[in-house]
Structure 1
């Protein structure tokens, strides 16, 4: 028997030494290399390990030392493959232990730190990490990430993520197999009503109901996905509610008018029946404009039932139409106001956060659609209950030649209102249908081909799976993974060929990881996403049964590789970023063009929608640079700040004109087909210079930007209610911020807004602090 009686564990505990445990571990290594039946050999090798320990003379060796001896004994006896299997097993066990230890430290941080002192509790600026539900969500999130890395994903993917080579987004939701986001088609969803799983809702018949159910649809869908929710056809869908509301109010007012002519019971029911009859026979109905043809169709009924005086009946119709127009407009404003208030107060995901919500509009030229757009922007201008700037929904105004871009076009006045509203409230953002990469899909008269963006920037329209349905409705991103471009630039040490070789290797890894996650998503069934799939929100999901896999319909979504820090990458490779030199601009486009070509190749090869994303960088911008700073030290222009630059953007600290920045960034929009956004920073109050604001938007359109917005200060004193630009002292009441209640300072982050800077993580605080204004 060996003289060794005890061993020391990694945590310092001293436990009895058992030779048979070494034999068991060696036998598992044999089995891992397809050598079953080696129990006797394993026992002999374990005894040899014990003999080495006895010769060494230590009476309490540590477990790491014993494992080193096991590896040496296996190698000395010629079991090279088995030794490799043992080393791999040991490495994975170490990784699992390290993850568990790290998780406990994370839990300690979540439990005992305030959000203002904990970056991890401010990882998502839309979650209040100090609340009970916010804390619980972080417990679940961090535990899920560790489980996925330890037991589900391939070790090489986990190592790449942990080391900072890549970032697998929304990893906490990966074990659930959820997808990222969807462009919800409300017209399809509302047709005949829908169910939230807790009850069935009838098809809405009033603009107030349309707006309320739009909020419920967003809230319900967010519980089935880990990303945001967008309404693809907000103007077109809400117009249907306006149309129904107008018809109801018209008949009510017509009934009141004819009742004034003669003493009779309320005739509304018979007027309603007649309106329905005329609609069925002629297709005519009361509407906001061009109602003369309907009036003529209605006149015989009025003359037969109420008065032989046609002039009197004309007055009744005119009165009813006038009143209905005014009352419908007011009802629409109230509905839009309620929608904004609801989306800024309603909760999803166990009550921990408001839904990430976006709406696309701008193209509906009908009077009803125009009324919707006018009132959503007027309600946004007015603000929330105390005049606060609404954080949600992210509003995206579609700009199109022939529709709203030039004077005299049907919605030009709404484009002007959008500029005014955005200058005050930061929304709407602007998308540009005429950008060549958006225009190629556009078919006039087919709203589903009008480009739609998620607020953060995500874009889904091309479809290699079904080229006949290159549309936005019912589609979204499945998952995305981001490459740490600056690290590849640092490691290449100026060798461009080495950089591209490393980039290809990293893209291989990302594609493999996305496919692994996609397979996990595909195995889910309709019942695992009862609203998204069960109510037919996702394209073609209404053709599936409750227990069917969602594999076939998920193919319409996108699998995206993203990137961050192009500017720092260029600095690492050639010493200049693309804001500084033409040489850097050429290389930058070559890098991103190379990545896009690879995604297109994967799409053709696999018949799946692989796409390239200009990654939104909220928490990631600080995570990568923190790891790289520790690994490579502080490098000027690369790791010397607390963040990497957002995707392909010119660095926020670099002085440049708005027009030059737009011109430099525009070509990257054409390459990043999974999504993109460009920002311009304006100083002062842009409501005082709307011409300059409009020139920026027009420059974006003319240069080929796909999706853009303008940032500017939006501050508010919650004590006196003053809104505008506030320095250290409120211009409204004169109080200073350090008097007590802090001022609210609305700023944009990854496409959406955050109400107070204390919700930003440290990296985004630093980035926001460094932003310079782009002169116009």
Structure 2
């Protein structure tokens, strides 16, 4: 009876308070009328008795003032509950005061049981251990004077408790991946210079933020010693951001597949329109661009089409040359304007073109409109040549402003029969392209280490018909699965003698081998188990489109020249030092050959296309070894010489540079390139063609390009040779864009010498150091 009277009196007091219409400010800034009932209800929900709930609500009602915040009210309730029952007070604090902004974009009461549950699910901790950690976390959270908790904040405290309890393995599983607010702000304002092929826009910001989380995920997922080897700079694991979900690097397409069976850009046709076998050359050109755009969603690196003009030739039969050129023009513009690949890039594409139908293809069945057999490819010699000429002429025109088309990388295949007078006019046109833009590449099929087929996939990665001896299976519908780069100069800094060098080399290759096997294992999961790469796994005559069993795993390397300088006292230009350098690369090849025997997989050695790795290694080694580190460049922009190249600033004539570097091409069949950096004067096409003939017939150089630095005035649309600070036509300074080859492909550098554009400081310094021939 006494309790009923007390309750009645409390309600009378509350009614008097309500008359004043006290307003409360909620956390979101909205005003609402004070509610006695809400306080009673919140106390009852955490287990407080009715009399205590009413008493506390009445006290708060008397204390509240107009404009009081909900946070103040909750603390008043908590303080009074503590005097009655500490456990109930804690429960009230967790439920009403500690609110959590979750990763699901909701605001929820704190619940210790959720920490326990996530620890059990994510780390496989026992229930007892999960409760212990969650209780420790709760004790820490009670001390905080914050309006809201966040899921990342709670997770950080959980991880701290895991570390304090010696549970580092569980901490790695439970950690949250992400990127600091400052870094995201900087990306939005300034972009990134890790990839010269990316412009600054919202999609690149999204890509870099996602990349950072996925890089962290990859480094947490692999064994600690491998992650440490990468982060410290012993080795470089390329494409870490793609390690987990897009682990396949480069790909060579077989256009015949899509000519015969049509196109499903999602790999299945379940989510997009399905195209049948193309019946017209225009449709085929459109499909070609869509193939590369679709495949880019499943891959991390470059992709190429070999024998492109041979396979397209049946579609050109009966067409005029103008019609052929129009179709080719469509493809070139499509490949340069499809800003829909990773982070708003155009697909990284290459075309391997033939000047004539190769002998090994002349009797192969040719497939034409509608996917039907139309004879053999030897029947389409004229069309093959017309398509090559059309491609070259369209590239020579540039775009409507006069700038070069940067994609596809166009690779011209030189065979013995091509170097005769019959193809002189076609060859001359290609060398006009080299003289004007420097975008053409050349594949040399004449050296003894070549077979019928070799193809390249962008910067330099390549395939040969030296795996099974079948040009189709060895070179098409497969590619480079992954590569890991060895820091050769660091080996020299740590070595006392030759034996030490090869011991360190063994240990670095052991690390790289483990990474590559993990990468392949993840690729198999993505292909077979996760259904994550549908374009690559689409069915072609009962087999998977991507022939992973024929893909290469490669040892890359950077800084052979600096290794020789430290270990031998002279660089790669010295004959004795170079012999030791050849022994080093030969040793890596022997390891690749042994692994082929042991694993049955396709191992290779390549000259790494080190856009950022040469800079990263040099900067890390300068920090670690100080003046002992031998680098190129200046403070803040150190770099190592790429792979087994002669330093870009070496005072070496072109014939001597060829003689030095050719020795390494037969030993780097996973990929290589020779750079001839041309001077500011306009190169003579006839002279370049004569040089091409000499390189092809008298050297073992397998792949090369004549790289020309160019400037383009955005104001008056004038193209100039060399890196110019000012337009020679209109005098413009700020709007002069630079172009040059970064490692493999030609790309914008930036505007003016003070701008670094998309190139990192090391590459910018290398650009300035390049000796032009």
TM-score (norm 2): 0.71
Residue 600 (structure 1) aligns with: 593
**Change beyond 3 A, Cα 1:96–1:428:** farther
Distance apart, 1:759 and its partner CA: 1.5
1:499 aligns with 2:501: yes
Summarize deviations over 1:589-623 as a string: whole Å, max 9, x none: 11111111110111111110011111001011111
Summarize deviations over 1:380-429 as a string: whole Å, max 9, x none: 00001211111100000001111x11223xx3322221111111121221
Distance apart, 1:122 and its partner CA: 1.4
Residue 567 (structure 2) aligns with: 573
CA contact (8 A) 1:396 1:427 kept: no
CA contact (8 A) 1:659 1:699 kept: no
Please give the residue correspondences for 1:50-449 in structure 2 after superposition, counting only pairs within 5 Å: 90=168, 93=171, 104-105=179-180, 108-113=182-187, 121-128=192-199, 130-150=200-220, 152-197=221-266, 198-243=272-317, 246=319, 328-349=320-341, 352-365=344-357, 366-402=381-417, 404-408=418-422, 411-438=423-450, 441-442=451-452
Distance apart, 1:188 and its partner CA: 2.2
**Change beyond 3 A, Cα 1:66–1:176:** closer
Residue 649 (structure 1) aligns with: 645
CA contact (8 A) 1:562 1:614 kept: yes
**Change beyond 3 A, Cα 1:350–1:676:** closer
Residue 454 (structure 1) aligns with: 457
Q: Report the Cα distance in structure 2 between the residues aligned to 1:567 and 1:350, rounded to whole angstroms.
A: 34
Moved more, 708-717 or 467-476: 467-476
Q: Report the Cα distance in structure 2 between the residues aligned to 1:692 and 1:614, rounded to whole angstroms.
A: 25
**Change beyond 3 A, Cα 1:95–1:162:** farther
Residue 719 (structure 1) aligns with: 715
Please list every run of at least 4 consecutive aligned residues from structure 1 whose deviation after the TM superposition is greater than 4 angstroms.
Answer: 62-70, 89-97, 462-470
Distance apart, 1:635 and its partner CA: 3.8
Distance apart, 1:638 and its partner CA: 2.9
Summarize deviations over 1:334-390 as a string: whole Å, max 9, x none: 122222211111023366111000000124341101111111111100001211111
Secondary structure, counterpart of 1:698 in structure 2 = helix
Moved more, 421-430 or 609-618: 421-430
Summarize deviations over 1:608-661 as a string: whole Å, max 9, x none: 001111100101111111111110113474366411111110010111111111
**Change beyond 3 A, Cα 1:535–1:224:** farther
**Change beyond 3 A, Cα 1:335–1:498:** same
1:533 aligns with 2:537: yes
Give ranges in structure 2 of 5+ residues lacking alignment: 1-115, 133-156, 267-271, 358-380, 751-756
Give ranges in structure 1 of 5+ residues lacking alignment: 1-23, 43-61, 71-85, 247-327, 443-449, 537-541
Secondary structure, counterpart of 2:554 in structure 1 = strand
Residue 608 (structure 2) aligns with: 615
More strand by share: 2
Structure index of larger Rg: 2
Q: Report the Cα distance in structure 1 between the residues aligned to 2:740 and 2:569, rounded to whole angstroms.
A: 31
Distance apart, 1:698 and its partner CA: 2.7
Aligned length: 589
Distance apart, 1:238 and its partner CA: 2.2
CA contact (8 A) 1:391 1:755 kept: no
Q: Report the Cα distance in structure 1 between the residues aligned to 2:242 and 2:159, rounded to whole angstroms.
A: 35
TM-score (norm 1): 0.71
Secondary structure, counterpart of 1:737 in structure 2 = coil
1:523 aligns with 2:525: yes
Q: Report the Cα distance in structure 2 between the residues aligned to 1:426 and 1:767, rounded to whole angstroms.
A: 18
**Change beyond 3 A, Cα 1:643–1:232:** same
Distance apart, 1:462 and its partner CA: 4.6
Please give the residue correspondences for 1:576-587 in structure 2 after superposition, counting only pairs within 5 Å: 576-579=570-573, 581-587=574-580
Distance apart, 1:91 and its partner CA: 8.7
Q: Report the Cα distance in structure 2 between the residues aligned to 1:508 and 1:767, rounded to whole angstroms.
A: 31
Q: Report the Cα distance in structure 1 between the residues aligned to 2:164 and 2:345, rounded to whole angstroms.
A: 52
Q: Report the Cα distance in structure 1 between the residues aligned to 2:315 and 2:551, rounded to whole angstroms.
A: 30
